[in-house]
Amino acid sequence: MWKVGQLAKRTGISVRTLHHYDQIGLLRPSHRTESGHRLYDRDDVVRLQQIVMLRQLGFALEEIGAMLADASLPRLIDLHLARLREQIERQRRLMSRLERMSVWLRAETEVSVEEFFKTIEEMTMFEKYMTEEQLETLRKREEEVGPRRIKEVQEEWPRLIEEVRQEMQRGTDVHSPRVQALAQRWRSLLNEFSGGDKAIEQSVANMYRSEPGAAERFGFDTKVWEYIKPALK
């Protein structure tokens, strides 16, 4: 058994906190000495671990008391593990964003706040529709082509889309030499982006269909896409 001071020293939890837990009925010591000093046994230590885990998960002391009444230790550990995995994933995504932002910044001499907003919006939107493997493929593609080429491609897309739109408005047959040449440029840019990964291209297409602001954000036109798509096959 452990006295309150010993338990505080072993766990890093203050004596004051342990006294408070006792007062509110959250962690009452199972034993006391003849002089009335608190004594904690193994079951008390297990309960304290549960309390600490739930506190780290953000629950209030009142909520923890209710949860401990009907929750087993394995269940609480699973809950803690799930929350930790979420935190690790958020940190991993943040690291990925910062790495991409670092590359992007090196390619620019001056960056406006608006560009930061746009970049963050783009990254979060892509994360919603792509798997971890697809995002990793895109990160590797960025490293391969380099920031300068990325910027060139970003500037090329609006020009190409506008040229395709003009042919669409003229009613030009998609099998004509002019549209076929545009389709070849379109396919080339797609391959630079995806590395030829059709699953990535499908994920992007799903994003455009599901996100109302995606087409406008990236200068994409769904009508233009439907027009040029047969020429890409």
| E strand spans, 16-97 | 31-32, 38-40
pLDDT for 115 equals: 61
Taking only the tens place, the pLDDT of each residue in 11-59 is 889 999 999 999 999 999 999 988 888 999 999 998 898 888 888 777 7
Least confident piece of the model among 30-39, 51-60, 168-177, 211-220: 211-220
Residue with the bigger pLDDT between 18 and 215: it is: 18
Least confident piece of the model among 140-154, 161-175, 202-216: 202-216
pLDDT for 191 equals: 84
Residue ranges of the chain assigned to CATH 1.10.1660.10: 2-71
pLDDT for 29 equals: 93
Question: In the structure encoding, which two tokens stand for residue 188, read together?
Answer: 């080339």
Question: In the structure encoding, which two tokens stand for residue 169, read together?
Answer: 């408005």
Statement: residue 185 has pLDDT above 60 = yes
pLDDT for 111 equals: 56
C-alpha distances (whole Å) from 29 to each of 3, 7, 36, 51 are: 9, 11, 11, 14
Backbone dihedral region for residue 40 (phi beyond 0: left; psi -120 to 50: alpha; all else: beta): beta
Q: Residue 105: which residues within 8 A CB-CB, separation 6 or more? A: 111
Please give the class, per CATH, of domain 2-71.
mainly alpha
Can you tell me the mean pLDDT for 118-137?
72
pLDDT for 150 equals: 74
Least confident piece of the model among 180-184, 185-189, 190-194: 190-194
> CA-CA distance, 28 to 17, in Å (whole number)?
12
